[in-house]
Amino acid sequence: MVLTMDGRIKRLHHKCKYMGMHENDVIFARFSKRYLDDLPENEIPQFEKLLEENDLDIFKWITGKLPVPAEFDNEVMEKLRHCQEFVEHQYNP
């Protein structure tokens, strides 16, 4: 089945709300609300590929607990880190 761009974005919005780890749910929900509808077309495959990775690894990459592999060190990761910083500030003022 081939999804339209609108269908892909809707699927990604849903996935962002149900990542698996609560911490990722918060970060990715923020990302979804802030960036997903206006994500440049070239960043959508980057984001989809990232979502295939292990939740704990993703969390550690976003928070800087592990180095980000080169294939995921891109604009999407920068946006996710910005969302994490916002969330971290909200919970630890």
Mean pLDDT of 35-44: 94
CA distances to 1, 2, 42, 43, 57 from 22, in Å: 30, 30, 28, 24, 14
Confidence (pLDDT) at 30? 92
Confidence (pLDDT) at 35? 96
- Specify the number of domains making up the chain: 1
Q: Is 90 exposed, middle or buried (0-12, 13-18, 19+ CB in 10 A)?
A: exposed
Residue numbers of the domain that contains 57: 5-89
* pLDDT surpassing 50 at residue 31: yes
Q: Assign residue 35 the CATH number of its domain.
A: 1.10.150.250
Specify the higher pLDDT residue, 90 or 9.
9
Confidence (pLDDT) at 50? 97
Whether the full predicted model's pTM is greater than 0.85, yes or no, is no
CA trace torsion 74, 79, 84, 85 (10° rounding): 110
Mean pLDDT of 51-69: 95
Q: What is the pLDDT of residues 70-91, one digit of tens each?
A: 999 999 999 999 988 755 555 5
